[in-house]
Amino acid sequence: MWLPLLLGSFLLSSPVRGSDSSAATAITCFTRGLDLRKGTEDVLCPANCPLWQFYVFGDGIYASLSSICGAAIHRGVITNAGGAVRVKTLPGQENYPAVNANGIQSQVLSRWASSFSVTPATKDTALEAVGRSVSTARPSTGKRPKKTLDKKAGNKDCRADIAFLIDGSYNIGQRRFNLQKNFVGKVAVMLGIGIEGPHVGVVQASEYPKIEFYLKNFTAAKEVLFAIKELGFRGGNSNTGKALKHTAQKFFTLENGARKGIPKIIVVFLDGWPSDDLEEAGIVAREFGVNVFIVSVAKPTTEELGMVQDTGFVDKAVCRTNGFFSYQMPTWFGTTKYVKPLVQKLCSHEQMLCSKTCYNSINICFLIDGSSSVGESNFRLMLDFVSNVAKAFEISDIGSKVAAVQFTYDQRPEFGFTDHVTKEKVLSAIRNIRYMSGGTATGDAISFTIRNVFGPVKDGPNKNFLIVLTDGQSYDDVRGPAAAAQKAGITVFSVGVAWAPLDDLKDMASEPRESHTFFTREFTGLEQMVPDIIRSICKDFLDSKQ
């Protein structure tokens, strides 16, 4: 299951057992609800967790990606002195509200697959912390980092490529421009910039957009701070739409330091109003897989509203109109308190909906026919087809995943979705698949794959695809297992070669069957199918998001 490590990696310690055989599990400050395996479990939160670093979604009922200890403090079950908490797993909710309580601001989440509640643990539960959690990189505060934080690597839990699109127009003026630079610098520091953490660049919007520096130019916070300090005020009209479009098209290239599988974000700072149209720019940004945030400061006055081309410009530009991607500050003065909430948004990987494209947000399992009729040389051509399809996708621990199962009368899992998290390792694993030889039981193979390959990722965020590659008639029923796969949310493509009957291929394929069924008379024809398969996967992905 693909789940980005938004809150850091950790190691759950062994249970602590008392004389009455009751037990509590010692956890870290950042252990999440989804990291527990039991329906109800007593855990022990440590003391002195940094409140400002907690990620908590909801109130009373919390999304399972929330910090358990953060939720317990938010709920008032424990204080920052730590203590025992009983965690109960609950179903997912359609809405998790944002509530400020006990020093913690929880965040809004529109939907999540599972939840949990927190209550005081029973008094007879043993409460002794044991074990040691793996050190976790957290957002920098600008203070001297702890020894456990690799300053050069940066905050690995906030991997994002971010362009700050600052307002350099006459609307803002020189004084507020300097305050804006100061605020952006504070945000950059708290993000925890580093080689393996967030990378940032700056674009200035004025009469004409200017890319001040790219993602690749600086990988340390102090370097970024110096570069921001040196920025000069350009003046002119606030042609934010022009600058946003330019940034979406030109900024996030591999040559300029953008990384594959990492969310692309543009944070647009607006002092007052834009003097051009943002709608087209917002569309372009979404097409390029960029998440647009609008940080608006000092709303237009009544007199100024007449100069605004479209008063709904924020909703036209942002990634989604769900409230998450817009952020309001009343003034550039006293902005320190607004830094942390903005950083929390930018580090919320699961919320970056516009980063999710067909190339980085899907799971593909290849179900490969290894029957005797295929033969060793043709089997190699089938593996070449599998490799060429896989190459098109951004495979990573936070991106797309690939798995493979070979089947005859039996099934052999070659590798699962979590076995290889780089494209190179996936392609190597495909090359190393050994031909089985045997009969053809495609229906059993589909059922096996649903249970054992897709079962562990059924609640994950990626869209699931199954590509069945076969050269002949199945000895068992394929219609029932294929229908079960589609009912489980798996889109099925059938790819037939040589003697594969068209009726079987259509019975397996998802609707519309014509666009999910492929056939070639010769194994060499598989190569020509690759672009059409990739295009069809992307079309299905886009259709599912509308």
Instruction: Convert the pLDDT of each residue in 133-142 to its tens digit.
Output: 333 334 334 4
DSSP string spanning 327-340? EEES-STT-GGGHH
Distance (Å, rounded) from C-alpha 366 to C-alpha 201? 39
Taking only the tens place, the pLDDT of each residue in 51-94 is 766 778 899 999 888 889 999 999 999 998 889 999 999 998 88
Asked if the model's pLDDT at residue 12 lies above 60, the reply is no
Q: Average model confidence (pLDDT) for the chain?
A: 85
β partners of residue 491:
465
| Residue 7, pLDDT score | 32
Asked if 95 and 105 count as a contact pair (C-beta separation under 8 A), the reply is no
φ and ψ at 221, to 5 degrees? -60, -40
Helices vs. strands in the chain: H and E counts, helices first:
13, 21
Taking only the tens place, the pLDDT of each residue in 280-309 is 898 888 878 899 999 988 766 665 555 555
| Residue 134, pLDDT score | 30
Asked if the model's pLDDT at residue 11 lies above 90, the reply is no
Structural domains of the chain ordered from first start: 25-120 (2.170.130.20), 161-347 (3.40.50.410), 362-544 (3.40.50.410)
Nearest to 215 by CA among 284, 168, 266, 141: 266
Asked if 495 and 528 count as a contact pair (C-beta separation under 8 A), the reply is no
- Its pTM stands at 0.49
- The set of residues, in sequence order, having a beta carbon less than 8 Å from that of 514 and lying 6+ positions away, is none
3-class secondary-structure state, position 348: coil
- The two tokens of residue 97 are 């509200």
- The two tokens of residue 541 are 């992905």
| Residue 309, pLDDT score | 56
Taking only the tens place, the pLDDT of each residue in 333-358 is 888 899 999 999 999 887 888 877 78
Share of the chain above pLDDT 90, in %: 53
Burial of 148 (0-12, 13-18, 19+ CB in 10 A): exposed
Asked if the model's pLDDT at residue 127 lies above 50, the reply is no
Asked if residue 91 has a cis previous peptide bond (ω within 30° of 0), the answer is no
| Residue 26, pLDDT score | 86
Asked if 166 and 293 count as a contact pair (C-beta separation under 8 A), the reply is no
Asked if the model's pLDDT at residue 272 lies above 70, the reply is yes
φ and ψ at 291, to 5 degrees? -90, 115
Distance (Å, rounded) from C-alpha 441 to C-alpha 266? 50
Asked if the model's pLDDT at residue 49 lies above 70, the reply is yes
Asked if the model's pLDDT at residue 273 lies above 80, the reply is no
Nearest to 78 by CA among 54, 114, 111, 112: 54
C-alpha radius of gyration, the chain, whole number:
26
| Residue 6, pLDDT score | 34
Burial of 434 (0-12, 13-18, 19+ CB in 10 A): exposed
